[in-house]
Chain A
Amino acid sequence: MAGQSGSQLSLFTPDEVEFVAEDELVEIVPNLRMDSLNFICGDYGPFYPQIAIQVPLWLALALKKRGKCTIRPPQWMSIENLTQVLEGERESHAFQTLPFHYVEISRLLFDRARDDIPDVYMVRSLVEDIRDVRFHKVETNLENFTASAVTWKNMAAMEVNIIRAFSGRALQAFYRHENEQAVPDLDRTQDRQPQNLNDRPRVCRSFCCIPIFPLHHWIDKIVFISCLLDYCPTIVFLWRAYCLFVVPLQRNLRPR
């Protein structure tokens, strides 16, 4: 079982990934005159009106919010480039080259600098299509995992973060089973319990969708579907017996 307690420490929330992405540089065109800013994270400026300058994304968004600049969308966010990238993603199995934080950067710009992006709806739909195609590739590639090191070229930060917890635990389980290390007994009992819990919902499901005093033809449909899904033939048989024999008796005994 790929369960592992204590993996919470190593998880990054999406906000933390966005925080890291906000340090990427973007180009802005300020409309004010300002002296240079000497931050702890670096020196930027001086700012002259209509002269483009590179600043971190968080600074650009702060200035944009106060109406002090316009943000130039990055080179990779043009419609031509995105269409090319989308075609490339659809045709090949590998990932196309995109900035590591393209998801966060595009989302922040769509939310707060929409008027600075030409054809924003087109760009937005292209980015979403690219995200869908790439994530579909990630899901299919997950089937090819082995216990050894897995490498991926050009995967983006948000995609990595989404599968981090699951793939880490799965790889660890593969590694453990393949190497058959001497695992202490304590670990094994902990691993066994979650497995039993997983089996129970599948049996309960066929009970839950059928109420206590049902209509016969309605049960039969559900039972038939349950059979097809191969949930639990024995339970199905017992339900049919219940419907055929017990319910008519209850109907007769129920006061009208």
Chain B
Amino acid sequence: PSSSPRHDDLKEMLDSNKDSLKLEAMKRIVAMIARGKNASDLFPAVVKNVACKNIEVKKLVYVYLVRYAEEQQDLALLSISTFQRGLKDPNQLIRASALRVLSSIRVTIIVPIMMLAIKEAASDMSPYVRKTAAHAIPKLYSLDPEQKDCLIEVIEKLLADKTTLVAGSVVMAFEEVCPERIDLIHKNYRKLCNLLIDVEEWGQVVIINMLTRYARTQFLNPNMNESLLEEGGGEKAFYGSDNDDDTDDEEDKEEKEKKKTEATAIVKRKPYVMDPDHRLLLRNTKPLLQSRNAAVVMAVAQLYFHLAPKAEVGVIAKALVRLMRSHSEVQYVVLQNVATMSIKRRGMFEPYLKSFYIRSTDPTQIKVLKLEVLTNLANETNISTILREFQDDHFNDKDFVAATIQAIGRCATNIGEVRDTCLNGLVQLLSNRDELVVAESVVVIKKLLQMQPEQHSDIIKHMAKLTDNIQVPMARASILWLIGEYCEHVPKIAPDVLRKMAKTFTNEEDIVKLQIINLAAKLYLTNSKQTKLLTQYVLNLAKYDQNYDIRDRARFIRQLIVPTDKSGALSKYAKKLFLALKPAPVLESPFKDRDHFQLGSLSHLLNAKAGGYQVLPDWPEAAPDPSVRNVEVKESVPEWTKCSSREKRKEKKADKPFYSDSEGESGPTESADSDTASGSESGSGSEESGSGSESEESNEESESASEEDEEEEGKKKKKNVEKIKARKPVPETCLAVHAVFTQPPPLPVSVPQTIIPSGNLKTYELLHRITGEGLSVEYCFSRQPFSPDPHMVAVKIQFTNSATSEAKSLHVEDAKLQSGMRIKEFPEIEVLPAGETVSVVMGIDFCDSTQAANFQLCTHTRKFFVSIQPPVGELMMPIFMTENEFKKEQGQLMGMNEITEKLTLEEKCQGEHAVVQRVTTAANLSRVPCGSDKECRFAGKTVTSGSLVLVSVVTKEDGAAQLTVNCEKMVIGTMLVKDILQALTQ
């Protein structure tokens, strides 16, 4: 290699006796390396200085050595003895640094030396040296994979280490060398869970990800019984009113049905009880959602997503939304994961809808992902807001426009109620100035029309006209396909379009040509009189086309549709072939089912398996033996460091949980937990006596001890912050709510015009006696005006204390509300003696939506998460009107604001009295006088916005009837129709 004169300079400086010259030379060399310049020819000159006394020079020589040793293996060997000497140094830092450099020199010949050094360092007194040993393991493994078995032994040894310093690094080594050896984790599982909070951030990420996989192999699916408890759709009802459109629901039901039967099968064998170790993991990772490190938060979030019972997963939403306010790269990754999560667990992100609103300053990839999330979150209550969000002028960005239009299309397919609104919106876009907008709209409209073509022949006509102007091939092709497919709806226009197309055929793009042929064929089959010649002409043109696909297609079609003597049996079926009923396309999220990749992983983000990705296993059918995680008391090595006391502190907590634990574990499971506690506590006992073996750590010891005291104090003060306990019964509550929708109890209604007396009101459970530890809470919508704020719905809440001791200071806290919603808390109940019952009234402004109001119900000791979800009928209050007023108002609420449904009244429900009773039970409306006895009319207005709600039921013979609802708020109207229909027909 030709070395420049300048390098000779450097060599000279390196050879000098002056440290300052050497240092200067090394600095210049390292700067060259940093800039990516080649400095390998200096190797001999540099390596001579490896034993230099000056620590600064030495450090830079190490840097150089690590960079070039691989290229200059022979020369690199010269330096090895220096490091070997360093490994024996009495100073732990020198030992660690020697090992670090030695293991970074990628020279195969020294593999045995490295192996020996790692083994020795793994049993070093100093945890820092042991940490360095853990770091060295993957280095050696990548250099020589044959060392695997030996390295696994070292990993096993280091996994047993009890210091936080080592934990992260050794799990990292485990993941790189032997991730499949899950058996090595058993004995260390509880320790890792307990150390976790004190491990440094990067180690936390690696440990949490590994434990997620571990848990999937060792515990049972906590959600396997869930569907059974909830009785289908319960979970959805909990989060909000998403009565999805039919297809989705059916699919869901089927799935649930299947799960239910599976679950029943399992349940019959053994009721599901969460393994206490499973609980331990959930409990100990939860506080880390508050970490400043986005990777840690994401790791916990994915752990909860993959491992937690459904009712508990919600806690991660807030933390993920927080990450959305971070750097745009963080947002990008988080949104990818939220997009996947929001398909399975839509409810948990609904309260944070606004956080996903698109800002004009967002980078394109963020915009597209937000759009994806918004689309996933769309349901009938929020769709109008979301559509407005979509329409807001984000039309500067070409990629984004296309994505927006597709998103509108997906909302339209998923939510039947807004299909027409969306379609109208898209049709309006057809007259947009930008051709791309028009083209994309055409493609999406085509898909939507396929769902109900018969109702939209005018749109098809409109689109036919567009062929004159629009030039984007895909859009032209879509229009032609539509016209061909639904030519019966536009019998006059279709042949004309074909005529125009025949004219321009030769100038069209290939996809358009294919569709012209297609159109011709379909028209020929339905209307051969008018189009025979045109079809012949088109087929002739196609026959001589340059593209063989088009030539082939023409030949094939001619054979098929034009009957000749040669044409076989097939041509008889030509019409069936071409005009078969085609299933409407499914517009689904590209993130659907992406959760088979572990969330937060690179593979998930790319939707492709990255090298080294460990598959997230499915839950086992039956739980493997949990006793493998039991640790024998004897095994706790006396080699305790300061961390042990921290550990002890935490294991005490495992014994008497008081921070994050919470989740209602029943008795028997807890007892299994106790042997961890007892095991480790006796271990820590031994620690107390035998500690301080390492002098350099003793001051640390005292620190953590004091910390412990403080926490002890904290324990006394707030013994119970068991928040989540209330979550489990929530599905039951929903069940109750659900039941009301489907089966209104036959209530005797005396005077229909007045408000139903509260005694007949349906009560719902807010907190079950068992979860509430004796405190049970019920609520009902009292249908009385809420005097402090007329825009609030009055909710009467009844507390019953069936415990033996009094409950104190009952109050509401920490409301988690959709934006705009408000709560007027009831005045705090200071004391509720045992056995007493008390009722209070609180006001909730639901903003005219059926979104649940979530809040915490607090006693002096406990907090319970509860939620109140109003049936749509409770969102309104009665108003009085004359017949004439009613007619006038009804006349003004036509078109989109009117919904009419035909129905057959249930047997028991025929007759005016029954109808009035059922309608007023379903909705808080008052009766409007009416001249005809065939018609019942009701009026009310929504509580928040005061929008009119008018209902009329016209009865005919044999129980046939027609229900009409007029309401400014289309969504309210739609939901109300559904509820009243149900009330009248069941």
A binds B: no
On A, residues with C-beta under 8 Å from B are none
